[in-house]
Amino acid sequence: MLTADSAAATRTPTQLETPAYAATSATVPLAPFTINRREPGAHDVLIEILYCGVCHSDIHQARGEWGQSTFPMVPGHEIIGKVARVGSEVRKWKAGDTVGVGCFVDSCRQCEPCRAGEEQYCDNTPSFTYNGYERDGKTVTQGGYSSQITVDENYVLRIPDGIPLAGAAPLLCAGITMYSPLRHFGVKPGDAVAVLGLGGLGHMGVKLAKAMGMHVTVLSHSPNKREDALRLGADDFIATKDDGIFKKHANRFDFILDSVSAPHDFNNYLGLLRRDRTMVLVGIPDPSPVNAFSLVGRRRSLAGSCIGGIRETQEMLDFCAQHNVASDVEVIAIQQINEAYERTVKSDVRYRFVIDMATLR
């Protein structure tokens, strides 16, 4: 643990000492740590963090599974909090507002994707909430497993009244990651949608697709999730370990949202798509080969999708408030974070861990 003394030695007068949990390397558990947040500048908002969701991407990055991790790393990009203070030029937010921060805290604001409101695809790399860099290209960003965060006012989301706050946290990543492709690829009410993998992303996919009026089937490698899938709103459930399912359900779906975090054979699932339909990867497992025959025979598409921009994330939050959609969460203390990682990797989470950040103070 970095001591208060050593943190003070590196702190400038414009920084705020902030308790956090960090991974100091890819092979050690997360542990208490102290970081410095900047004092809010003219366009910044200082947010007291109340809840932070635990995304599988936190685990991939804290364990160096994407090969580009910077340590020490404070993960967390499903942040809900209250505005503590705002900079002199901020007009959108005031102290006491309930707000959210998702997977990025800034972007170049000039490239074509940024101007189109798709900041997550910024040509100059978004400033990811952690394991990234601020716009200066050298200040390492640190995430939501911490008591406060300073963010530019334009990268803050409004949490509508009525959504339970712990259940709102996962919307900032899991929710928007499933909402955006359902909108972008033009999936229509009544379409047969398959959600592959019933975890944090998957359970949000079920709820959102149902709220949009689609016919939803969960495909899961955990046969014991059938009841949950139906309770969450799915119309059907297929256990992918059962014999003959790929033949039985061939050419059945209009759209597949694949949220599986571990390597699996994409070709099997592509075979479940109808002609001219699309399977979208949102899960980010290790690579796995795609056979051209899986695509060419029925002019199928395999695509990918990454979270969503600020405007669409706000739209998704408002949609959730309107349709009573929130995540099913298990609220944990920050001290349980390493156990929560183990359980997530074993697909043993119902359906998102969310840290009560009061346990850090």
The shares of helix, strand and coil residues in the chain, as percent rounded to the nearest 5, are: 30, 25, 45
Does position 349 interact with ligand NAP (CB under 6 A)? The reply is yes
**Does position 192 bind ligand NAP by CB under 6 A?**
no
CB burial of 288-308 (b: ≥16 within 10 Å; e: otherwise) equals eeeeeebbeebebebeebbbb
The helix/strand/coil state of 315 is: helix
Task: Verify cis geometry, omega within 30 degrees of 0, for the bond prior to 351.
Answer: yes
60 binds ligand NAP (CB under 6 A): yes
Does position 77 bind ligand NAP by CB under 6 A?
no
Identity of the residue, 34 or 57, whose beta carbon is nearer to ligand NAP in the bound complex: 57
Measure CA of the first residue to CA of the last residue in the chain; give whole Å. 16
Alpha helical stretches, state H, the chain? 4-10, 56-62, 112-115, 165-168, 174-184, 200-211, 226-232, 245-248, 266-270, 292-296, 310-322, 337-345
Q: Which does 146 bind (CB under 5 to 8 A by kind): Zn ion, ligand NAP, none?
A: none
Q: Which member of 221, 249, 274, 298 binds ligand NAP (CB under 6 A)?
A: 221
Could you say whether residue 177 binds ligand NAP (CB under 6 A)? yes
Write the single-letter amino acid at 186.
G
Rule CB under 6 A: say whether 261 interacts with ligand NAP. Answer: yes
Q: Three-state DSSP class for 196?
A: strand
For helices 310-322 and 200-211, give the axis angle rounded to 10 degrees: 70
Is 216 a binding residue for ligand NAP by CB under 6 A? The answer is no
Q: Per CB under 6 A, does 239 bind ligand NAP?
A: no
* Partner residues linked to 148 by β-bridges: 48
Q: Which of Zn ion, ligand NAP, none is residue 131 near (CB under 5 to 8 Å by kind)?
A: none
Instruction: Report what 262 binds from Zn ion, ligand NAP, none; CB cut-off 5-8 Å by kind.
Output: ligand NAP
Of 64 and 285, CB closest to ligand NAP: 285
Stretch of 6-14, 16-24, 25-33, 218-226 lying at the interface with ligand NAP (CB under 6 A): 218-226
Q: Does the protein bind ligand NAP through residue 142 (CB under 6 A)?
A: no
> With CB cut-offs between 5 and 8 Å by kind, which of ligand NAP, Zn ion, none does residue 205 bind?
none
Helix or strand run (H / E) with residue 237? strand 236-239
The yes or no reply on residue 279 touching ligand NAP (CB under 6 A) is no
**Span from 11-19, 55-63, 78-86, 158-166 in contact with ligand NAP (CB under 6 A):** 55-63
Which of ligand NAP, Zn ion, none does 303 bind, CB closer than 5 to 8 A by kind? none
Q: Phi first, then psi: give them for residue 5, nearest 5 degrees.
A: -65, -45
Q: What are phi and psi of 8, to 5 degrees?
A: -60, -35
Sites of contact with ligand NAP (CB under 6 A): 55-57, 60, 173-174, 177, 197-202, 220-222, 225, 259-262, 264, 282-285, 305-307, 344, 347, 349
